[in-house]
Every structure is written in structure tokens, then in C-alpha cells.
Chains A and B, each alone.
Chain A
Amino acid sequence: MLSRVAERVYWLARYIERVENTARLAKVHSQLMFDLPKSIPFSWYGLVQITSNEEYFKETYADIRTEQNCMAMLLTDRDNAASLFTSLWWARENIRTTRDILPREAWVHINELYLMVKEQQQDFNDRTKRNALLSKIIRSCQAFNGMLSGTMSHNDTYRFLKLGMLIERADMTTRLIDEGGLYVSQQAFENEEEAHFHSILWAHLLRSISAYFMYRLEYQTEISGQEVLQFLTQDQAFARSVSYCLNEMDSLAKQLPNANALQAATHSLLAKIQASHTLDIGSEQLHEHLDWIQGELSAINELLYDIWFNPKQVA
């Protein structure tokens, strides 16, 4: 398989996953907004922080932290490399140039999604319509993954697609936990109020990645930040936990050529995550821990380039 083609399908899957996760993030943030008691100050700016866009936001939106600005930056801003629409645009470009190795429906599906979002992007400004559109986008991304899984040979092309999806997913999960921690650290409450706020917050975060139900099956107690953290980083069975994603990446890498270095990296990261101590929700240490995981994932991304996409040229 050509390195260029491998790189394109990898990024295709990353962008699709990013579109889905960005839609989930925007959706849960809006929901949270409706459920929190009026007494609790709530900021749209969290959306900027969680996607590490503080600098860009300052430059482009003069740091004016309105709902409209934050949502525009996250969803429709074509100049923001990380916006939903930009990700979708890139996904479409990548699939357009790899059409010959993907099922024909794949192109049609993403092209339709792109055209729909392009046409309806005004709806993002209206809270009710925004929710409906975000739900449509999430469903469409899920249908896309299901279609590929159900119609493609599970060959190298498919493996690179899955690798892209998994690494993006693991990264997003750490960012969501970080968001939860951020809220916790920013608010000071009376005891009773705090417990109430926390349970709403974590339930929403879990729902944002469709993890609520699975979490409930695993932990029958009241939702606690600590357990959410465990579930989303260390659980070996939940499809969006960081550990699960790393395990899957490892078993995919096994079937690809020259994957030793990648397997070593995923093993080592997995072992460290499994062995990590309990960290207080809202603490600086937790934030640093999550930052560190994101850094390790980014190193794994680099490794994919060293091994497959752009290896040193030795005959």
C-alpha cells in the first residue's frame, strides 16, 4: 500500500471522528447550559479551552466570549483548522482522493453530509435547530463508520482508517475529562449545591460520548468524578476509553509491517495509564496528567509518520 494513500485514509478517519466529537461537545455544552441552576455562572468559553483554541480565539474574536462567538469558532469557522466544518471539508478532500480504494458509497455519504452542513450552517445560530443538526451529524458519522466496517475488506486500508479513528477518539476522551475538571475547579459551592452540580456535570459528559448507559452498568452508585475518570481512561471494554483505544491500536498494528516501535509505544502508554494513581478531580495534577496523555498520543501520531507515511529514505 502506498504511504500517501495510507496517510490519507488515516486522516480521513481522524477528521470524521473529529467531526463527530466536535458535534458531541457542542451538543453537551448546550444541554448543560439548560440543566444547571441559574445561580451557577456558566461559560461558553469552556468550548474554546477544551479544544486548545485560546490563542486563536483571542486573535479572531477579540476574546469576546459570547455563545455566538464560541459556537462559530467551534462549528462553522473555515479559518479555524479545528472547526467542525473545516474537519468535514478535509474529510471530504481526503475521501475524494482515495475514492478508488474505498466503497463507492463512502464518497457519496460524506459528500452528502458535507453539502447538508454547508447548506444548513445557519441553523447553528439557533439553539433548537442547532441541536437537531448536531444530532444528524453525529448519526451520519456513526452510519459512515458502520458502513465501512460492514462493506470493506478488513485489510491494510481498513486498519489505517481504524487507527485514525482510535487515536482521535482517545485524544477527545481526555479532553472531555479535562473539561469536567475545569468546571469543577472553577466553581466554588456550598456542599450540597456542589454535589448536585457535579452529578449533573458528569452525567452530561458521559452522555456526550454515549457513555452514560455503559457507565451505569459498570457502576451502580451515584456518579462520581473519580469513577468517571477511571471508566474513561482505564476501562478495558468501553469503546471510548483511552485504554480500550490503545489496546485496539496495538492489535491493528500487529497486522501491519514494521510495527514494533508503535506497539512498544502503545504498550508503554497503556501500562502507565493503568498504573496511574488516583488524582483529584479539578486538580492541576489531573490536568497535567491528561495533557501528558495527549502529548503521548501526539508522539504516537509522529511515529506513524516515521514508520509508514514518511519514513527515512533507505533503499
Chain B
Amino acid sequence: MLKTLDNYSVNGFFDEAIIDSNHSRPAAKPLFSQLKDTPFNSFQEMQKSAEMAIAQMGISFTVYSDKGNIDRLWPFDAFPRTIEAEEWNSITKGLKQRLQALNRFIEDVYNEQEIFKAGIVPLEVITSSKDFRPECIGMKLKHNSWANICGSDLVRDAEGKVYVLEDNLRVPSGVSYMLENRAVMKQVMPEVFRDMNILPVDQYPLQLLSMLRSLCPQNCDNPEVVVLTPGIYNSAYYEHAYLAHEMGAELVEGSDLVVLEDDCVYMRNIEGLKQVDVIYRRIDDAFMDPEVFRADSALGVPGLIRAWKAGNVAIANAPGCGVADDKVVYAYVPEMIRFYLDEEPLIDNVPTYLCDREEDRNYVLDHLNELVVKPANESGGYGLLIGPRASEEELAEFRALILDNPRNYIAQPTLNLSTVPTVCEETLEPRHVDLRPFILQGEKSYVTAGGLTRVALTKGSLVVNSSQGGGSKDTWIVVTEENT
């Protein structure tokens, strides 16, 4: 064990590195034996050198404010999060399974609608969804693949069991930070990398490129792939530029593209117009094509949906796939896996109560002070009730809200997120984490080796969001000796 961890207390949570004061988890063992005599001030130095590397490499994210947009340095913790390769392998299978089912679902939504006819998912779930796009009805896509890039958030409960908390299918971000985190850690702990068997993460941009190329709808000897960004003022612009750069693809804005009368998409080059075959779009559905969605969008490309429907260009993620990125739809994913794939889900959902079902609703109303209640159609943590921390008035208010419009609410148990040792002011202390791996699906499926571990840097906090005091850690998928 690490000397520095002598006073470390896991407090009844599942810690990713430590079982108890005498035992570490197998994935962390090689790291601990490397660092066993390392005093705390060496960890502080590692933390400083990580922060310097981040400043030098200019890894930033954008924060919006009235005084203009500011590039902030990426908050990072130098103590890595470790996961055993064997466990990761089975998580990988579960993530691929899940995305396959979700893609079958989206295709079904816009075509035969069999899952609704079979009575497994109520049709109102999609007809009431603001992300259902009637324009997509009847579309069939290559490899039946609509959500090509998915970021699923994983959490562990106090017993260490892994759940999917949500699937981000619109324009998930964060993967560039996963890559940069690794680059930083290689500078901070070079010896550890030499002596440990940690799976590399840096194939992601090439896997992404090869997935995007596999979507090319026609004449695909050498497809032209571009990254479509809303531009410099988007908070993820850094990532757009990073991925375009790593893939050797053009980073384009809406005004760089034009759809001509032949319903093909072209980019304006100094050599003239050049046809574009695959667009990795990083702008929301609503802004993509002013002819179809928001007419006031200056970010989009008029005619883009026309070109897509004519089968002249692939768009990843496909328009309309946000219909599956919805808290009520989420609740049905295990059913989808059974229905479309005839398999049992390999990773569970966080148990979710749909207040529209009488049985669920009664349970929710009886256990309101133990549950987290979320509106189905909001994102970003708006209108949330955290039962254990709510006042009597708030509980009464939500009771009324649920009874008034049960379809609009879901409830989940309060999660005790797992922890990882983190470099704090005095010593290494446990902080809560989640994990966002990225899953690709085109001709083949791919899952990143690990993903982006987000950590709530404030003691006791469960909020891992980078705009709200969250940071990140490098995630190591470790091949342990027993498995080699």
C-alpha cells in the first residue's frame, strides 16, 4: 500500500483503487508498488507538473460570460483512475450491445415501428419527444447506423456494480480531453508507463476516421470527410479543431459548405468546389439546415437535409437520432436489447421508475425522500428533486407535480458514486467519479480503452461537470499479471 494513503478512509463508498487499509484493488496494485514510498509532496509536484503541461499544450475549454468568452485551462487531477482490463472487456461488450440496440430502435422509430406495435414501448414516448424529426421518416441508413458516436456515462454504486446513467447520442463531447489527459500523464509519470501494462488510447482519431469513412454513401474510394463546427465561440471548439487535425480532415463552418441543385454537398476550396461525402457534425439538429429546422440559424447549411435524404452525403450522428437520447426512452433500453437482439443486457440501467406507470408512481410517491426525481424532457439538471436533501415543501411540490403530469417525470435511487484517491491540499483524499467512454458504430463497433473520468473536486460533491467545479483524471485500463 501507499504510505500516503495510511489515513485514507473509503467511508462506505466503493473506492476504485482501495479495498481497505491493507488491500488495493488488482488494477491499482502495480501502480501502488511503483509509488509505495512516494511522499505526498511528490504527488503535489506531479500535480504541478501536470498543470504546467496543460498550460503549455494550451488545453482549454471555453466559458461563456458577459465579458466575452474566456478560454480556461482544463482542470485535471494527476492521480489516475485504474480499471482491470478483464472487467473493461466485459463493459466494452455491454456498451456495444447497447448502442446496437439503440441504433435498431432509431431505425425502427423512423420506419416500421415494430417495437411500438409489439406494445413494448408506448408510442407516446416518441410522439411527445421534441427530438423526434418527422423529416427522417422512411430513411434507411448504411449499416443501420444512426448514432455513430455515443458517449455513455457509467457510474458504480457502493457495491461496485457498474450502471449506465445516460447515453449521449446527440453531439457527445470530451474525447479530446481523454486523449490529452493521457499525453499529460505520460509526461508526469513516465516510469510508471514503462513498467505497467496500460492499454493505449491514442487510436481513437483513426478509429473515428475509419468509422466515418465507412459511412460514405457512394463512390467511396477516397471519401472526403469533414468536421462541421459551429465555430470559434462554441465551448467545444478546441475539441473540433483537435479531432479535425488528428484525422487530417478539414474543419469547416456552415458557410464553407453549399448544396447545389444536384443535391450534393460541396465545400468551397481555393481550387474550386469539392464534393463532401461524410460530415462529422458538431452542431445540433436544430441548427443544421435552415431550410428544414430553425430558419434563423446562421450556422447551418441550407439544403443539407435534402442532400442527406437523397443519399448523397452521410451525416454523423444522423439527424433525428436525438429521439433516443431522452430519459424516458433510456428506461426502455434493456427492453430494446431483448426485443431487437434477443439478448440479456450486459450492463444494467440505473433502476428507473416511470411515473406514468401506476405501480412505479405509487412506489415513487411512497419513497420520495429517498429518490432523485427528474423531468423527462429537460437536460442539464434543471427541475431536479434530490429527495434526501429536499425540504418538506419541495417534497410536497414534487408530489403535486408528479400527480399533475406523471408522464413528465422519472425517478431513480440516489447513487453513491465510487471514489478515487485525488491530490487534495493536505493529502490524497477520496473524490467521486463517473466515466464517459466513447462508442463508435459504423461498419464495425469500437469502444475507447477507458474514457474520460470526470471527478467532483469538491469534498462530498457528486457534481462532475467541468463548468461546476469538476475536473478529470486519466483512466488506465490495466492488464494485470494474472491475465498476461
Question: Which residues from chain A sit less than 8 Å from chain B, CB to CB?
Answer: 1-4, 6, 96-97, 99-100, 104, 156, 256-258, 308, 310-311, 313-315
Q: Which B residue's beta carbon lies closest to that of A256? A: B270
A-B contact pairs, 10 of them (CB 8 A): A2-B250, A3-B270, A97-B232, A99-B241, A257-B271, A258-B271, A308-B270, A311-B268, A314-B272, A315-B262
> How big is chain B's contact interface, by range?
20 to 34
Contact A4 B273 (CB under 8 A): no
B244-258 CB mask vs A (1 if < 8 Å, else 0) is 110000111101101
Residues of A within 8 A of B251 (CB): 100
Contact B268 A2 (CB under 8 A): yes
Residues of B within 8 A of A1 (CB): 269-270
A256 CB → nearest B CB, Å:
7
Which B252-290 residues sit within 8 Å CB-CB of chain A? 252-253, 255-256, 258, 260, 262, 264, 266-273, 275
Kindly state whether residue B351 has any CB partner on chain A within 8 Å.
Answer: no
B312 CB → nearest A CB, Å:
12
In the bound complex, CA of A257 to CA of B69 (Å)? 37
A184 CB → nearest B CB, Å:
43
Contact B260 A156 (CB under 8 A): no
Kindly state whether residue B58 has any CB partner on chain A within 8 Å.
Answer: yes
Contact B270 A156 (CB under 8 A): yes
Residues of A within 8 A of B273 (CB): 311, 313-315
- A3-B262 in contact given A96-B232, A100-B241 (Cβ < 8 Å): no
In the bound complex, CA of A59 to CA of B252 (Å)? 41
In the bound complex, CA of A313 to CA of B261 (Å)? 11
Q: Which B residue's beta carbon lies closest to that of A2? A: B256
B396 CB → nearest A CB, Å:
51
Decide if the interface of chain B is mainly helix, strand, loop or mixed.
Answer: mixed
B54 CB → nearest A CB, Å:
15
In the bound complex, CA of A257 to CA of B274 (Å)? 14
Q: Which A residue's beta carbon lies closest to that of B240? A: A100
Contact B58 A3 (CB under 8 A): no
Q: Which B residue's beta carbon lies closest to that of A97? A: B232
In the bound complex, CA of A100 to CA of B267 (Å)? 18
Residues of B within 8 A of A258 (CB): 270-272
In the bound complex, CA of A2 to CA of B231 (Å)? 14
- A3-B269 in contact given A96-B232, A97-B232, A313-B260 (Cβ < 8 Å): yes
Q: Which A residue's beta carbon lies closest to that of B226? A: A2
- Give the residue of B232, B241, B252, B266 whose beta carbon is less than 8 angstroms from that of A315: B266
Residues of A within 8 A of B232 (CB): 96-97
Contact B260 A315 (CB under 8 A): yes
In the bound complex, CA of A6 to CA of B270 (Å)? 7
- Give the residue of A2, A100, A104, A315 whose beta carbon is less than 8 angstroms from that of B269: A2
Contact B256 A3 (CB under 8 A): yes
In the bound complex, CA of A249 to CA of B11 (Å)? 71
B134 CB → nearest A CB, Å:
30
Q: Which among B58, B241, B251, B272 has the highest number of chain A CB atoms within 10 Å?
A: B272
- A3-B268 in contact given A104-B58, A313-B258 (Cβ < 8 Å): yes
Residues of B within 8 A of A104 (CB): 58
B27-71 CB mask vs A (1 if < 8 Å, else 0) is 000000000000000000000000000000010000000000000
